């Protein structure tokens, strides 16, 4: 039995990026530990959800439901406030935005968790923080710093292949004439989002665990709608099951650090064989 520690920025990030892998590991008898950096209080929610009271409490309850669906063995909350998409979320007295925290301080908190859990593998975020959210970028920096101190575990970074994501974003942007809200979509951000396909080391087939992944996404009901309309999570959950399985049936990881003294073959056992992306054929004249 191995222990894999996943560090995420906000409740629902675990559902979108790594829930299938977490469920897969748990089903195979491994310990899955989830570390959540923020309370998610700056997430976009409808006025109806906001008026019910404490958004942070709602999101924590949703996270607990997601964790049960995935077989999470242990939770750790770092207790920082959600920084918001622009990094300027308003926080209350005594609260601190995660994006403003000292990297070394957060890294020390993470090292304590890794030691307490005897982490065999650590998972953080890629260099771009996916699509560039300041809290995601902070996860990247703090987990990488912690993994440089806690050298007993390999470090993987959860990500997506950049090239197909960019193609999808361009396709969506091309429809902005029909959906004016798409006019604000920033194509340039997506040119450097996530990780180039040839830098990805593991592609995990989570189709056997797609029911748990769907349950994890569904747990985060507060993130399914906002006052300006449905959101990505809602659109994914409305996909027919075969298409949902096809779209979300694989998860991707980039290996950063090998980890001193890590068990030989451990990553292959936990995450499958190394990913060898197929190269796109170039037409010849």
Average pLDDT of every residue of the chain? 88
What is the average pLDDT across 171-177? 66
Mean of pLDDT values over 45-61:
75
Residue 46 pLDDT exceeds 70: no
Indicate the burial class of 177 (C-beta count within 10 angstroms; 0-12, 13-18, 19 or more). exposed
The residues spanned by each domain of the chain are 3-160+195-271, 162-193
Q: What is the DSSP string of 25-43?
A: HHHTT-EEEEEEEE--TTS
- What is the rounded average pLDDT of the residues 262-285? 76
Q: What is the pLDDT of residue 168?
A: 79
Residue 131 or 250, more confident: 250
202: pLDDT strictly greater than 80: yes
Residue 174 confidence class, pLDDT cut points 50, 70, 90: confident
Please state which CATH number belongs to domain 3-160+195-271: 3.40.50.10320
- Of the pLDDT bands very low, low, confident and very high (cuts 50, 70, 90), residue 283 is very low
Residue 136's Cβ-count burial label (10 Å; 0-12, 13-18, 19+) is: buried
């Amino acid at each position: 039995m191995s222990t894999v520690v996943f560090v995420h920025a906000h409740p629902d990030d675990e559902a979108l990026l790594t829930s299938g892998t977490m469920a897969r590991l748990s089903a195979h008898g491994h310990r899955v530990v989830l570390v959540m950096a923020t309370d998610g209080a700056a997430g976009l929610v409808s006025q109806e959800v906001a008026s019910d009271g404490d958004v942070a409490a709602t999101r924590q309850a949703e996270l607990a439901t997601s964790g049960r669906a995935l077989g999470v063995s242990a939770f750790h909350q770092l207790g920082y406030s959600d920084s918001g998409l622009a990094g300027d979320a308003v926080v209350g007295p005594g609260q601190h935005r995660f994006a403003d925290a000292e990297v070394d301080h957060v890294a020390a908190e993470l090292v304590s968790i890794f030691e307490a859990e005897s982490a065999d593998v650590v998972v953080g975020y890629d260099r771009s923080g996916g699509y560039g959210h300041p809290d995601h970028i902070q996860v990247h920096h703090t987990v990488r710093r912690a993994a440089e101190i806690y050298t007993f575990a390999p470090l993987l970074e959860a990500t997506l292949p950049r090239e197909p994501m960019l193609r999808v974003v361009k396709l969506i942007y091309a429809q902005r004439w029909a959906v004016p809200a798409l006019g604000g979509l920033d194509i340039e951000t997506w040119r450097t989002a996530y990780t180039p396909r040839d830098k990805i080391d593991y592609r995990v087939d989570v189709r056997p665990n797609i029911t748990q992944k769907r349950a994890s996404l569904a747990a985060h009901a507060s993130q399914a709608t906002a006052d300006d309309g449905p959101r990505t999570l809602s659109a994914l959950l409305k996909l027919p099951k075969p298409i949902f399985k096809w779209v979300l049936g694989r998860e991707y990881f980039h290996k950063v650090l090998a980890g001193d003294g890590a068990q030989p073959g451990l990553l292959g056992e936990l995450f499958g064989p190394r990913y060898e992306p197929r190269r796109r054929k170039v037409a010849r004249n």
